[in-house]
Amino acid sequence: MTEATNLAERAGDRDPRVGLRAVAALRRLLEQLEAVQVRSARNQGWSWQEIAAELGVSRQAVHKKYGRH
Amino acid sequence: MFERFTKDARAVVEGAVGHAEREGAARVEETHVLLSLLDREGSRGSFALASLGLPPGGRAGLVRDLDETRRRGGLSRADADALSGLGIDLSEIVSRVEETHGEGALAAAGRGGLFGGRSGRRPFGRGAKDLLTGTLRVAVAHGERHIGDEHLLLALTTRRGVPSEILADHGVTHASLTRVLYGDSSGGEPGDAAEAKAG
């Protein structure tokens, strides 16, 4: 049995593992989506300030995370 | 620690660096170590995989699963399943992102720079470093002086994450590996295995 089917079967049991796993997966997905969007914005000439404003974070935060590459 | 690595284990580590470079990854991750382990032939790790139905020519399914996971931005099939429990269709998200940003866009998100791959030697990521330390523990637990590629494989199965999940989907677990490597009587590394499960 794969881990995926295992989890699917537990989903009905309100196993906290399923919910926690979903949150962790969502967090990772969010990180990847953010990187895709930030890269796209930079490629279109957006400033760090503009990107930060859309993301609702400080310019420093977004620059520190993506700037030095 | 590296002076205790066998030729095969060193080749796996070198191969992992090569996989990371070809992929354009910023760091060497555990998935690169797994890809490199799957490349081996004639090593103890390779024989163990073959005993579990994965001979050198028969590992394409595993590589494909790893590729798919990378395309989903490093999210495994179990992650996708957990998300579908929330009503989120990961494959739909992946295809929409790819429509707008090109094929493999989410996979590329995990790469080092926003503006193309770096050149030069990749550092090992934290997970891969921990894996190497775990490998030493596995070898010591089996009373072995040398660290072989089979210990790298064993250590991978004791860790959480994509490599151990995909390996398990293909029948390679800590228990099955311990059985083919050391026979049924050996308990292997119960501490690590229990730790990984109890999390």
User: Could B114 and A38 be called an inter-chain contact, meaning their C-beta atoms sit closer than 8 Å?
Assistant: yes
From the CA of A50, how many Å to the nearest CA of chain B? 17
Residue from the list A22, A28, A31 with its beta carbon closest to the beta carbon of B86: A22
Q: What is the mean pLDDT of residues B16-34?
A: 93
**Inter-chain contacts counted by CB atoms under 8 A, chains A and B:** 87
User: Could A2 and B73 be called an inter-chain contact, meaning their C-beta atoms sit closer than 8 Å?
Assistant: no
From the CA of A60, how many Å to the nearest CA of chain B? 17
Kindly list the domain boundaries of chain B, sorted by start residue.
2-198
CATH code, residues B2-198: 1.10.1780.10
Indicate the number of domains in chain A: 1
For residue A7, what pLDDT band results from cuts at 50, 70 and 90?
low
Q: What is the mean pLDDT of residues B170-179?
A: 96
| Segments forming the whole domain that contains residue A60 | 3-66
User: Could A28 and B74 be called an inter-chain contact, meaning their C-beta atoms sit closer than 8 Å?
Assistant: yes
Range ranked top by mean pLDDT from A16-20, A63-67, B145-149? B145-149
Tell me the CB-side half-sphere exposure of residue B73, using CA atoms within 13 A.
24
Partners of B93 on chain A (C-beta within 8 Å) are 29, 33
